[in-house]
Structure 1
Amino acid sequence: MSEKRPILTASDISIVFGGLRAVSDLNMELTKGELVGLIGPNGAGKTTVFNMLSGVYTPTSGQITYIDKKNHLHIVNKMTPAQLNKIGIARTFQNIRLFGNLTVADNVRIAMHAQRKANPLHILFRTSKFRKDEEMMTNQVRSLLKLFGLAEKENELAKNLPYGEQRKLEICRALASQPQILLLDEPAAGMNPQETKELMELISFIRKEFHLTILLIEHDMKLVMGICERLYVLNYGRVLATGKPEEIQQNPEVIKAYLGADAAGGK
């Protein structure tokens, strides 16, 4: 059962670009083990929110706090993506950002850099500590790839994978950093219905397997309504509504702004 204490809290965060207020006074909480969706029309500010939560953008005002696995409190407003990744916040992107000319295994291995125990001298002289490190990382990479059905393709170049498998690999790489919170930016973008169904099952599985808190942006309403426990709806940079999927489906303001009559009727 999920703890009720929030591990990520955004308090009145706003961001202004050249006089344009892209996100206004947004409040959001994620509790441990939740699977939460962030939805809204195009241009509503969803990716901008993700970019603030993941260190790509710094909020103009407001504060974002995070409690890590060791129960340490961090104010993350001005932390870089690399710093956030190190304390347990990882993300994927709407546009796949794999290293196309590296192998599938090496794409995952890169994300494990912060876990390396060997120092540069151990690496330079190929000490026993270095070899132990390499063995540990190789085993972890293979274990993750097996979970994602990619084990047999570990030596293939990432750019040669089918689109759906590239999406899986990006999520796999994010998990390799051992996050507590995983931010998924439109993970089903470009997928066919069968791939989307498999992705729904995969997201539900990894949430339970890795004890993750997941926040996802998604336009596929079937995916969102099928796996999310709670939703935030954005419109013009503000939170229009928040609640359980069934509550959001019946919310007149949400129907008007985004879902449409068919979605509201559950079709």
Structure 2
Amino acid sequence: MSENKELLLRAKDISIVFGGLRAVSDFNLELYQGELIGLIGPNGAGKTTVFNMLSGVYKPTEGTITFVDSKGNLQVTSGKSPAQLNGIGIARTFQNIRLFGNLTVAENIKIALHQTRKVNPIDVLFRTKKFRKDEEVMQERSKILLELFHMEGKMNELAKNLPYGEQRKLEICRALASNPKLLLLDEPAAGMNEQETHELMEMISFIREKFNLTVLLIEHDMKLVMGICERLLVLNYGRVIAEGLPAEIQANEEVIKAYLGSGYTGGKK
């Protein structure tokens, strides 16, 4: 890895066991500031389980995860809750969209901004001047984020009424509202058509540059993965079977046999 880039996250020999079954075994990962990395593999290979360990949903049975937080401090994150990890700069989306459907688009963003709020329960209860000012700031920040996704005109719509592709965008937008250093995207193109996937590719590249993010994504759409990822890790049966540049992964015989298939031509699987 380039000596000019700072190490952001290291997962060292992490494994997890469910009822005697090792779902992920001896997984190692180093993420450097500003990278865009893909985690690929067959269904059931353990990709989302890895994400769940990195984001605090699961605690590894073995191994450690360390992360350099927004203040530059190295923290052991394995064992911390998702909320704690979100507070130090790790945000994620989910394969199945998890928006608050009966809340507006703006309200979904505001929920993610709650850690930056400057009000106390008394301000909220009596709707003080401080509270009203804070609400204005939250509204403006929500608008600015939504403008990046060309969704500012949808601020007052219920999230459940958005088209599928815009719900995906809103989930990513909400993740960005917590001002992360690391963004974990779990199958962001799932359910999208070809045009929506193309727009998503452009959006991921844009937000990475705009917010100086490190991005790790799980994705089955090989056109998207090969088009934007700098480096790929391939999981099969809970173990990494290959790691390298997209071109190297495409030519790897073990990866072709386990996942891509002999007919793979570099396009969408």
Query: Could you state the TM-score of these two structures normalised by the residue count of structure 1?
Result: 0.97
In 1, distance between residues paired with 2:155 and 2:6? 39
Which whole-Å deviations, capped at 9, do the CAs of 1:52-90 have from their partners, x for residues lacking one?
A: 000000000000000012111111111000110111100
Q: How far did 1:13 drift?
A: 0.1
**Correspondence list, 1:149-168, <5 A:** 149-168=150-169
Match of 2:213 in 1: 212
Letter in 2 for 1:147: L
Percent identity between matched residues is: 72
**Correspondence list, 1:45-64, <5 A:** 45-64=46-65
Match of 1:34 in 2: 35
Match of 1:266 in 2: 266
**1:91 and 2:92 matched:** yes
Q: Could you tell me whether the CA contact under 8 Å between 1:76 and 1:84 is conserved in 2? A: yes
Q: Secondary structure at the match of 1:262?
A: coil
Give me the CA root mean square deviation: 1.3
Match of 2:249 in 1: 248
In 1, distance between residues paired with 2:57 and 2:17? 14
Letter in 2 for 1:91: R
In 2, distance between residues paired with 1:24 and 1:222? 28
Unpaired runs of at least 5, structure 1: none
Q: Could you tell me whether the CA contact under 8 Å between 1:103 and 1:157 is conserved in 2? A: yes
**Correspondence list, 1:139-158, <5 A:** 139-158=140-159
Letter in 2 for 1:149: H
Q: Secondary structure at the match of 1:13?
A: strand
Q: Secondary structure at the match of 1:224?
A: helix
Q: Could you tell me whether the CA contact under 8 Å between 2:223 and 2:266 is conserved in 1? A: no
In 2, distance between residues paired with 1:142 and 1:180? 21
Match of 1:190 in 2: 191
In 1, distance between residues paired with 2:138 and 2:45? 40
Q: How far did 1:124 drift?
A: 2.8
Q: How far did 1:129 drift?
A: 2.6
Moved more, 114-123 or 70-79: 114-123
Q: How far did 1:262 drift?
A: 3.3
Q: Could you tell me whether the CA contact under 8 Å between 1:37 and 1:215 is conserved in 2? A: yes
Q: Could you tell me whether the CA contact under 8 Å between 1:104 and 1:157 is conserved in 2? A: yes
Q: Secondary structure at the match of 1:191?
A: coil
Letter in 2 for 1:242: E
In 2, distance between residues paired with 1:243 and 1:169? 31
Which whole-Å deviations, capped at 9, do the CAs of 1:210-263 have from their partners, x for residues lacking one?
A: 110000000000000000001110011001111111111111111111112333
In 1, distance between residues paired with 2:190 and 2:244? 24
Unpaired runs of at least 5, structure 2: none
Q: Secondary structure at the match of 1:261?
A: coil
In 2, distance between residues paired with 1:266 and 1:137? 43
Query: Could you state the TM-score of these two structures normalised by the residue count of structure 2?
Result: 0.96
Q: Could you tell me whether the CA contact under 8 Å between 2:16 and 2:61 is conserved in 1? A: yes
Q: How far did 1:2 drift?
A: 9.0
Q: Secondary structure at the match of 1:266?
A: coil
Match of 2:70 in 1: 69
Match of 2:222 in 1: 221
Q: Secondary structure at the match of 1:168?
A: helix
In 2, distance between residues paired with 1:85 and 1:64? 15
